[in-house]
Structure 1
């Protein structure tokens, strides 16, 4: 929408004492270079240094178990909105549901090495994951551990950031049964990276050092 159109809407609204709303027509400035969204997403997410493992819903639990064994997980924090029989996982690690306030499990949380988080969607043309926080998926679960494993459904991949924001808002409205939106909408590109004045890259300052995406 042009500046002139916006100003005209404001002038008309002031005269009528009502607010006129014209739906925004969004066009992504980035082009899809691959033949489909999944391939576009995989390339861009890999470029963002995340490790992608493809599987199906039927093999997701096995792939998750193999990944946890691969990274030698000891303690695994998971959000309770994950609809998988995690209790069927066979390994030496300990599963910890994220059901308590950080104030009551602070010392425990900072010693946990791995977390499992259900992604709401992914953005193909940026190679990022979309998350939302709520009582069943606290924000800290994707930040506090050295390794974070995201579970992502292939049919939740969208083309651009605008579509991802709409998808996350729709998910939260359906979950809450109302118009309540999450306190946080988060987009994760990959492992946390930052650089000091000498351009030395440091991993893990603002989130996990290692990011896995199980794409099913």
Structure 2
């Protein structure tokens, strides 16, 4: 058949071929835009999480941390009254839900679950999380002395973002006192006598203002 007699593709066929040829490009574009959007969202979240907080926000977090410690202190005394052997709770979460000697969970609700679960920076409450202290350093003692939960307990409150969500480290124990200090970094040891080690006793917002100034 002569070359001039070969029929040319119809307009419909050409358009179909064009659409088919551009589908991979469209998919690549959609995926690229999705990745860019996710990257922008993730970067924004990281920026918000790490941005410095204002002085008023830090002060509010510190006041609330002090109030949370007061609640933990009251809960520890109530726990001791209920415990079969008169012991204090070894773990802050046990003030919300304890496990009895038979391994049975027992809801106590001495503190809210949210506070009980604030055991690390990712689960902090009002910019602070709470750590069970297992041993304390004492004057004239070699090394650290383990906490005896028949007579003692100690919990520290630490900023989730040190210097960002709070500037103060708190310590509470069975004495009913609450202590505070402003170290340059999170403590690695907690003194048996905080006042002798330079901590101050705090009970009100005004006490915190004295520490900050």
Question: With CA pairs under 8 Å and 6+ residues apart, which has the higher RCO, 1 or 2?
Answer: 1
Larger Rg over CA atoms: 2
- Normalised by the length of structure 1, the TM-score is 0.26
- Normalised by the length of structure 2, the TM-score is 0.26
Of Structure 1 and Structure 2, the greater helix share is in: 2
